[in-house]
Structure 1
Amino acid sequence: MNALNLTLSGAEVLLDRGLAFTDLSLADGVIQPDRTGKRIDLSGYLVLPGIIDMHGDGFERHIAPRRGAMKQMGEGILSVEAELAANGITTGVLAQFHSWEGGVRGPEFAAQVFDAIASVKDRVVTDLMPQLRFETHMLDNYDDLADRIADWQVRYVVFNDHLPHDRLSEGRKPQRLTGQALKAGRNPDRHFEVLMSMHARRDEVPAALDALCAVLDRQGVRMGSHDDATAQTRAEWRARGAKISEFPETLEAAEAARAAGDHIILGSPNVVRGGSHKGNASALDLITLGLCDALASDYHYPSPRRAALMLAKSGLVDLAGAWALVSSGPARVLGLQDRGTLSAGKRADMVILDGQTHRVAATLAGGRVSYMAGDIAARFVG
């Protein structure tokens, strides 16, 4: 499918300095410095840089809508792309677990997801990027993990530890153990034994991580940590080369990340909700303090757009600054120098919003239409 060759006129376009009525031309998949092609009247609309979602696991329900219903993986990824595009997302990082939790988060399933993303890459418009979320206490999986990450074409790895150490240290079974065991394909007693075994070997984890991260760093893989709680934890991850702090749980951890020049990623649902659903640090508070480089969808794809617009409406940040958290900010964190702003020479990634309702009317990725609905279609084809 060829990229569009046209000039968008009459809309308010979000530039670095803010909204301005200006023409925006695109051809060959990039934004052009001069007017070109057919003129499209977009009076009444806003044109903003496409959203770069650098961490989202909301795709799980598409690839496994029910337990065991996992046979049409490629079709599931195509369905994910449709939802991303409908929410103005032009670059989507799909955060896939590699976890003892099993089911859609198990190691075997991770391989299927990464293979499916690669298999549909030529059939989607949205740029889909895989991310691996690795559970750090899975020591039996370390030996060949770096090789598998390379085979999966994963360039972004985040480390998690979701073991309920407090309960395990007391020999108590975690809450929801039976449900977790069923997802992992184990009986509850056996699942508890697996968790206790991983907990018992926790002192081996730091050295294993040091070795793994050193290999991944040499491979050029971006690395981050998830749910940092203390400055010490952030420092340990930074020493390993993991310089992205995803969803820090405390002000202390976020301040430590900023002081060291690390990137800070917050969840846009936290902004929309007005706080963390787990009682962690408020994204609004951290943004106010300048402790945020990017907002991610986390588990809800409509939230990045909504969060940016809410921030601008509140006056906490102007629209250019708020939208940068879902466009140019994540582009910088991911090293994507070809996108993130509506500047000449950049990829023609943009979302077009209805000027009144701020609903997504159309999304273009690389100058190709990934989503369009409603009255705007007549502007393009009429």
Structure 2
Amino acid sequence: MNVRTNRICLYNANMILPEKVCKGHIIVEGNRIVEVVERDFPRVKCYSDLTMIDAEGCFIMPGMIDLHSDAIEKEIQPRPNTLFPTRMAFYELEKKLTVSGITTMFHSLSLSDEWGVRNQEMVVEIINSINTLKKARSMINHKIHLRYELTFLEGLKALEGLIKSKSIDLMSYMDHTPGQGQFRDAEALKDFTVQSYGPKGQEFEEFLDKTLENQALISWTKLRELSKMAKQEGIPLAFHDDDNQEKINALLECEGIISEFPINLETAAYAASKGIHVCVGAPNIIRGKSHSNNMRALDAILNHAADIICSDYLPSAMLPAVFYLSKEGIRLTDAVKMVTFNPAKALGIEKEAGSIEVGKCADLIVVEMHQDYPILRKSFVGGNLVFQSDFNVYSERVDNVC
């Protein structure tokens, strides 16, 4: 179906609204939601000016907002020392995102002195390319989440420039020095870095020595200055892999608002008690554990110590994670908020996106439950149908072919 009319009616839907799930229909005009009606909507001639879309009893929920995903890095560099053009990665990834139900993506890029896609020159080039490409043609809403490695002291000037030019939409401070945070020892960091980016043994050892030296030279005065500058430009701040209350206090001193992937439940609970948004990864929810053997995301959610879910490194895990939570006793409306309204609120875009309400952007997804598993049927971004999947099970035909 090629939806070109200015008015669309999605009817026969189970709408996931902010506080309830109910049968009804949604009317979209242009890129906005203009009606949300909690009753059935018969198809009759008086509505012939609308493009009628039967949701077939499926769920309709807001498009998902992913505030942290390394997927663009994996698209550009799928294997160590193997790089593909940014333009190709951008266009191919956004097709995958529409199929995953993600309508706003904060592409996470690491500003550091590492290798490949995490090299400063490469990161700045990727940021500039995405900001150019999204203006020319895009299927979803593309944003930039810049992750700054605190031990990369030479990167402070580049970070300041990106803030001043408003080239980024979210930034985070992270410290991957072994012995704290995500990596408890140098071997864990070495294994991850070599497998992901391919440096040789001696090259990594020199990098590690420099990282340990620079950790003692981190200027929190300068970091607070930059975070204040970012706030004035409307760029929120997050911290990454927090493992104690002192780091949450430092986040508050920098006027940050998000703690990503806290290492333990105590730190997550402390952050939440201070009004900080706590973000956990969808893969952790699905797998039931952290790939780094840190906090289980589900434990944080069940203890009211996390309110946002991101894809981390696997966009396809977002939607299944939402419905997985509903099986664990979390209200479906609350689970949906963790990938829609809550990240929108944290990022200051809740007046535009994040819920099905009149006046908001028509970023919507249609989800069918097939054998108790969520299957995406349609994605709308700004009222435009950017993905559709209609299918039947052709068992007789398959048998004949076999």
TM-based fold match above 0.5: yes
Correspondence 1:115-154 to 2 at 5 A:
115-121=128-134, 122-151=136-165, 153-154=167-168
Question: Partners in 2 of 1:46 and 1:351 — Cα distance?
Answer: 8
Query: Which residue of 318, 322, 335 maps to 1:304?
Result: 318
1:77-105 CA distance string (max 9 Å, x none): 11111111100111111111112321111
Matched AA of 1:189: Q
Question: Partners in 2 of 1:330 and 1:185 — Cα distance?
Answer: 33
Structure-2 change in CA distance of 1:142 and 1:2 (3 Å): farther
Query: Which residue of 203, 206, 224 maps to 2:238?
Result: 224
Instruction: Tell me whether 1:364 sits opposite 2:380 in the alignment.
Output: yes
Question: Partners in 1 of 2:112 and 2:126 — Cα distance?
Answer: 14
Question: Partners in 1 of 2:191 and 2:70 — Cα distance?
Answer: 23
Query: Which residue of 99, 102, 106 maps to 2:112?
Result: 99
Is the partner of 1:22 in helix, strand or coil? Answer: strand
Q: Tell me, yes or no, if the aligned pair for 2:148 and 2:159 is still in contact at 8 Å.
A: no
Correspondence 1:127-276 to 2 at 5 A:
127-151=141-165, 153-165=167-179, 174=187, 177=190, 180=193, 188-205=201-218, 206-276=220-290
Query: Which residue of 25, 28, 32 maps to 2:27?
Result: 25
Calculate percent identity across the aligned residue pairs.
25
Query: Which residue of 300, 315, 332 maps to 2:345?
Result: 332
Is the partner of 1:347 in helix, strand or coil? Answer: coil
Question: Partners in 1 of 2:129 and 2:375 — Cα distance?
Answer: 30
Which runs of 5 or more structure 2 residues have no equivalent in the other structure? 37-46, 393-402
Which runs of 5 or more structure 1 residues have no equivalent in the other structure? 167-171, 377-382
Is the partner of 1:33 in helix, strand or coil? Answer: strand
Instruction: Tell me whether 1:292 sits opposite 2:294 in the alignment.
Output: no
Matched AA of 1:295: I
In the TM superposition, residue 185 of structure 1 has moved relative to its aligned partner by 8.7
Instruction: Tell me whether 1:281 sits opposite 2:315 in the alignment.
Output: no
Is the partner of 2:304 in helix, strand or coil? Answer: coil
Question: Partners in 2 of 1:262 and 1:343 — Cα distance?
Answer: 25
Question: Partners in 2 of 1:284 and 1:116 — Cα distance?
Answer: 36
Instruction: Tell me whether 1:43 sits opposite 2:56 in the alignment.
Output: yes
1:24-43 CA distance string (max 9 Å, x none): 11011111127871222222
1:318-352 CA distance string (max 9 Å, x none): 11111111111111111112111111111111111
Structure-2 change in CA distance of 1:227 and 1:180 (3 Å): closer
Matched AA of 1:256: Y
Question: Partners in 2 of 1:48 and 1:307 — Cα distance?
Answer: 14
Structure-2 change in CA distance of 1:288 and 1:182 (3 Å): closer
User: What TM-score, normalized to structure 1?
Assistant: 0.89
Correspondence 1:41-120 to 2 at 5 A:
41-120=54-133
In the TM superposition, residue 374 of structure 1 has moved relative to its aligned partner by 2.0
In the TM superposition, residue 362 of structure 1 has moved relative to its aligned partner by 0.9
Matched AA of 1:348: A
1:15-65 CA distance string (max 9 Å, x none): 123221101110111111278712222223221111111111122222223
Count residues with an aligned counterpart: 370
Q: Tell me, yes or no, if the aligned pair for 1:32 and 1:345 is still in contact at 8 Å.
A: yes
1:133-164 CA distance string (max 9 Å, x none): 11101112223421134336102111111122
In the TM superposition, residue 208 of structure 1 has moved relative to its aligned partner by 3.8
In the TM superposition, residue 244 of structure 1 has moved relative to its aligned partner by 0.9
In the TM superposition, residue 238 of structure 1 has moved relative to its aligned partner by 1.3
Question: Partners in 2 of 1:304 and 1:178 — Cα distance?
Answer: 27
- The residue number in structure 2 matching 1:380 is none
Structure-2 change in CA distance of 1:299 and 1:186 (3 Å): closer
In the TM superposition, residue 211 of structure 1 has moved relative to its aligned partner by 3.5
Q: Tell me, yes or no, if the aligned pair for 1:74 and 1:119 is still in contact at 8 Å.
A: no
Question: Partners in 2 of 1:280 and 1:178 — Cα distance?
Answer: 17
Question: Partners in 1 of 2:268 and 2:192 — Cα distance?
Answer: 33
Is the partner of 1:213 in helix, strand or coil? Answer: helix
Structure-2 change in CA distance of 1:375 and 1:201 (3 Å): closer
User: What TM-score, normalized to structure 2?
Assistant: 0.85
> Which range moves more in the overlay, 361-370 or 34-43?
34-43
Is the partner of 2:133 in helix, strand or coil? Answer: helix
Matched AA of 2:32: V
Structure-2 change in CA distance of 1:163 and 1:342 (3 Å): same
- The residue number in structure 2 matching 1:374 is 390
Question: Partners in 2 of 1:354 and 1:91 — Cα distance?
Answer: 21
Matched AA of 2:151: H
Question: Partners in 2 of 1:115 and 1:265 — Cα distance?
Answer: 27
Question: Partners in 1 of 2:304 and 2:190 — Cα distance?
Answer: 39
Question: Partners in 2 of 1:285 and 1:187 — Cα distance?
Answer: 38
Question: Partners in 1 of 2:176 and 2:210 — Cα distance?
Answer: 14
Structure-2 change in CA distance of 1:276 and 1:188 (3 Å): closer
1:281-315 CA distance string (max 9 Å, x none): 2211111111122100001111111111011123x
